[in-house]
Amino acid sequence: MIDPKSLRDDFPALQQRLQSRGEYDLGPLRELDQAQRTLEQQCHQLQARSNEIGRLVGQKLKARLSAQDPDVQMLTQEGNSLKIQLAELEPRLRELKGRLEQALLMIPNPPSPLTPLGKDEGDNRLCHTWGEPRLPDFPVLPHWEIGESLGLMNFTRATRMAQSRFVALVGAGAALERALIQFMLDRQTQAGYLEVAPPLLVNTQALTATGQLPKFGEESFRCAQDDLWLIPTAEVPLTNLYSGEIIPGGSLPIYHCAYTPCFRREAGSYGRDTRGLIRLHQFNKIELVKLVHPQTSEAEHQTLLGDAEAILQALELPYRVVELCTGDLGFSACRCFDLEVWLPSAGNYREISSCSNFGDFQARRGNIRFKEPGQKGTQFVHTLNGSGLAVGRTMAAILENYQQADGRVKLPAVLQPYLNREFL
């Protein structure tokens, strides 16, 4: 959530930054904020006068004046009039506050000044590449054909029991996914992240805090009877571990990682990546989340990116890093780097991790603050997250990049001890 004070104190700059994302007119929002503050000030003045009258009446009665005394009656009448006015104004104030809060929840995070300007993904900036894309001298198969031919995965039977965009991993396929999960967790905990096994169902407030609601409710699966949602990513429960809390400043930074299944409806993506492991409704992921001091936010972002890159490098999978422009940023991010892994069957790179800095945007929505020792006030933390990595997409990249001419798949060296084998 943007800071409402920026509507008053920094409006031109805020408007300009948001318009770099698209068409956002903050004028009506500023007018709503002004109306709410004007009415709030009026209510405060009326309440202050009402409190003063109550004090004066009490003093007069304590001085043994009769309730029928003209001064007492005059004050009592004024007090009653103020109560009537407040009874009329306070519901209007609550309505304005509610409208303002809902309007603020629909405004995306203003881009960081470091984020490159641009309209869409065509304006994203290539940062660097790692590794040489593999170009086998035999016919390259897509990962789903490799997986089905080796008996690692079955889409037909999964669709029969659920619907399209689900998969059942079988035998060595299930073992490979489990090995990838353990390998990624081992690496990230060694890098300093504390592992958490969070709930897979969260309430509406949790999704609102991280920015999935109210704007993107169609992307998540909801258990309406219980007001619970299946998590679209472990970013949601990991960040909300601290919602409503004041963290001791000395406890920052906080690093967490989690393996969870993730659930997304993929609304609006029909026709895209309908085959294989790239765009499933249920998929596994290792998520990295940081809560940090605002002064270290940018440095922590670069470290987070490096932690995700380290997994791809250990697996010896060619990839590139792309910085998203303002027009391609996710709703809650102010700056974001995508890791894209090489897929030989497509002859192109595909996203496997997004590493985002949210500034204090999520912390304001979730009321996550910290307090420095010896200071009176509190500040909002900065939150960051990234995939370390998406497991299914990593599996797809391994199958395609390590496929052999005889149909087998050679396992990356770092995974062989987890599976006690060299080939699938």
pLDDT, tens digit (0-9, with 9 covering 90-100), for 206-229: 999 999 999 999 999 999 899 999
pLDDT in the model for residue 271: 61
Same domain, 223 and 331: yes
**Active-site residue flag, 287:** no
Same domain, 47 and 155: no
Same domain, 285 and 384: yes
DSSP 22: S
How far, in Å, CA of 152 to CA of 172, rounded? 6
Catalytic annotation, pick one of 264, 335, 365, 369: 264
CB atoms within 10 A of CB 12: 8
CATH number at residue 147: 3.30.930.10
Asked whether residue 138 is assigned to any structural domain, the reply reads yes
pLDDT in the model for residue 63: 80
- Structural domain harbouring 55: 5-105
User: In DSSP terms, which residues pair with 342 in a beta bridge?
Assistant: 349
**Active-site residue flag, 264:** yes
Same domain, 277 and 391: yes
Which residues lie closer than 8 Å to 390 by C-beta, 6 or more apart? 283, 284, 285, 352, 353
pLDDT in tens, 144-170: 999 999 999 999 999 999 999 999 999
Q: How many domains does the chain have?
A: 2
Query: Which position has the token pair 């001890």?
Result: 417
At 321, is the secondary structure helix, strand, or coil?
strand
Same domain, 244 and 177: yes
Say if residue 270's pLDDT is above 70: no
Per-residue pLDDT band for 267 (boundaries 50, 70, 90) equals: low
Asked whether residue 187 is assigned to any structural domain, the reply reads yes
Say if residue 192's pLDDT is above 60: yes
How far, in Å, CA of 277 to CA of 397, rounded? 10
Asked if omega into 213 is within 30° of 0 (cis), the reply is no
pLDDT in the model for residue 22: 87
Residue 295 sits at φ, ψ, to 5 deg, of -70, -20
- State mean pLDDT over 366-391: 96
- State mean pLDDT over 187-216: 97
pLDDT in the model for residue 234: 98
Q: Give the whole-number percent of the chain exceeding pLDDT 70.
A: 98
Say if residue 297's pLDDT is above 70: yes
Q: Is 131 left (phi over 0), alpha (psi -120 to 50) or beta?
A: left
* Average pLDDT of the residues of the chain: 94
Q: Cα-atom radius of gyration of the chain, to the nearest Å?
A: 28
Domain boundary among 75, 105, 135: 105
Catalytic annotation, pick one of 332, 354, 356, 387: 354
Asked whether residue 21 is assigned to any structural domain, the reply reads yes
- The better pLDDT of the pair 67, 267 is held by 67
User: In DSSP terms, which residues pair with 341 in a beta bridge?
Assistant: 319, 350
| pTM for this predicted structure | 0.92
Asked whether residue 37 is assigned to any structural domain, the reply reads yes
Say if residue 251's pLDDT is above 70: yes
Same domain, 161 and 16: no
Catalytic annotation, pick one of 148, 266, 351, 372: 351
Catalytic annotation, pick one of 265, 279, 320, 408: 279
**Active-site residue flag, 320:** no
Query: Which position has the token pair 């009490």?
Result: 58
Same domain, 169 and 67: no
